[in-house]
């Protein structure tokens, strides 16, 4: 049973802190082993990559079969309904992310200096796609389409052929996203190959995509050599709901994240204790019917929470403390609460907007900050595949106006060569 809290209780502050900072995931101590794997791939290239892939993924990969051929991608068999769903999702994701493209700008100030910036895409991006039970075609679309919209010319996908096979839905999603360079490799060795390159695989500029503790540790290890998106933790959902909701709907929303992982966290905040009881009962009934009831049940019982507050406006401050990956505001007037909330990875407004729609087909990205990182970071976007370059152009009049003050600052810092490079222009006839 999820923990029950009431803001009127004397010990509420301590109980809330315990729920907020519950240690939900004990990281595997893999940093040392990952460091060795990365070094091995850097030293031995393809040979290490193939050896490690066959060892960890129980695959029979050879140098010749490392990269999927065009026919393997084209022939990935899915149903017509699955194909239609992928197409609708891809079109919506693309349309949403097109609107994120930033504009270049340039202006001239009163000294005559022309200033501005321009945006350009990274040349290449590597997309890590988990294999096995955590194989999500939706993540292929969410990672690859923003890169394509940003203008990334080369997108490389790596995914482990666990037991020798790759989920055809993953290949179909990659095909729709325009990815033609796909390698059947996974784990830390795949991240190392993307970062440093081998004879077969050219290195990339940025690596994105979810993975296990080994993948996360490898991304930490190679950061700086390449860019990375983030180090993702267990999934989270916080639902603020009033008693006008159907409790079965709210229970379903809470369990939608609980079924991801036993370390996921689902929280309900409401101002009605009787409604809280109904949601708790509904969650118990729904859990018993879930195929992943063992995972969802452990998540709900170990880390789930139901908080009753005096008034719904109190929920906004509590939500900001959690800074949840996903926030649902399922109230009669969600816009009024939205104005009070500052920190969330993604927000879903109204009773007919379950978070699961955002996972698949609505359009916004489902790659979001976890573990309270929404306090300082955002979800994946087109901007993650672009960089901003500043532009400056000065004429003689602008140099005359600005140069003396720049020299004064250079002198104050003791950097004579800096001052000299400015002074030389001021002395020109």
**Active-site annotation, residues:** 325-326
Are the C-beta atoms of 186 and 56 separated by less than 8 Å?
yes
301 and 274 in contact (C-beta within 8 Å)? Answer: no
What's the rounded Cα separation, in Å, for the pair 404 and 417?
A: 14
**Closest CA relative to residue 178, chosen from 200, 196, 155:** 155
User: Helix H segments across 199-292?
Assistant: 213-222, 247-258, 273-289
Distance CA 132, CA 155 (A): 22
Residues 240 and 331 sit within 8 Å (Cβ to Cβ): yes
Q: Are 253 and 286 in contact (CB under 8 A)?
A: no
Tell me the pairing of strands 265-270 and 236-241.
parallel
Taking alpha carbons only, the member of 357, 356, 326, 329 closest to residue 343 is 326
Token pair belonging to 396 = 């003689």
- For the CA atoms of the chain, what is the radius of gyration? 26
CA distances 199 to 1, 35, 40, 71, 307, Å, are 53, 21, 14, 23, 56
């Amino acid at each position: 049973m999820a923990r029950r809290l009431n803001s009127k209780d004397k010990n509420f502050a301590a109980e809330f802190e315990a729920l907020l900072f519950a240690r939900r995931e004990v990281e595997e101590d893999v940093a040392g082993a990952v460091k060795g794997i990365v070094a091995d791939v850097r030293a031995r290239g393809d040979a290490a990559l193939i050896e490690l892939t066959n060892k960890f993924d129980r695959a029979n990969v050879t140098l010749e079969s490392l990269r999927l051929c065009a026919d393997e991608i084209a022939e990935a068999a899915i149903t017509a309904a699955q194909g239609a769903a992928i197409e609708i999702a891809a079109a919506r994701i693309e349309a949403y992310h097109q609107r994120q493209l930033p504009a270049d700008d340039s202006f001239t100030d009163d000294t005559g200096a022309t200033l501005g910036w321009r945006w350009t895409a990274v040349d290449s991006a590597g997309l890590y796609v988990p294999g096995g039970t955590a194989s999500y075609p939706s993540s292929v679309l969410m990672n690859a389409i923003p890169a394509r919209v940003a203008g990334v010319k080369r997108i490389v996908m790596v995914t482990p052929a666990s037991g020798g096979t790759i989920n055809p839905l993953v290949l179909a999603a990659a095909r729709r996203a325009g990815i033609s360079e796909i390698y059947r490799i996974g784990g830390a060795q795949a991240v190392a190959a993307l970062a440093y390159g081998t004879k077969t695989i050219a290195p990339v500029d940025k690596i994105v995509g979810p993975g296990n503790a080994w993948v996360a540790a490898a991304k930490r290890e190679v950061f700086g050599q390449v860019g990375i998106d983030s180090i993702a933790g267990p999934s989270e959902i916080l639902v603020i709901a009033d008693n006008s909701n159907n409790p079965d709907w709210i229970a379903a929303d809470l369990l939608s994240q609980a079924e991801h992982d036993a370390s996921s966290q689902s929280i309900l905040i409401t101002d009605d204790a009787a409604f809280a009881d109904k949601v708790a009962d509904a969650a118990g009934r729904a859990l018993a019917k879930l195929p992943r009831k063992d995972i969802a049940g452990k998540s709900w019982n170990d880390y789930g929470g139901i908080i009753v507050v005096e008034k719904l406006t109190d929920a906004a401050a509590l939500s900001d403390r959690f800074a949840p990956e996903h926030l649902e505001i399922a109230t009669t007037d969600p816009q009024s609460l939205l104005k009070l909330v500052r920190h969330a990875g993604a927000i879903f407004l109204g009773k007919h907007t379950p978070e699961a729609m955002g996972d698949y087909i609505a359009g916004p990205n489902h790659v979001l900050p976890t573990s309270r990182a929404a306090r300082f970071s955002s979800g994946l976007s087109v901007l993650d595949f672009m960089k901003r370059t500043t532009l400056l152009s000065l004429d003689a009049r602008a140099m005359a106006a600005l140069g003396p003050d720049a020299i004064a600052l250079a002198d104050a810092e003791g950097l004579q060569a800096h001052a000299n490079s400015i002074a030389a222009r001021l002395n020109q006839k």
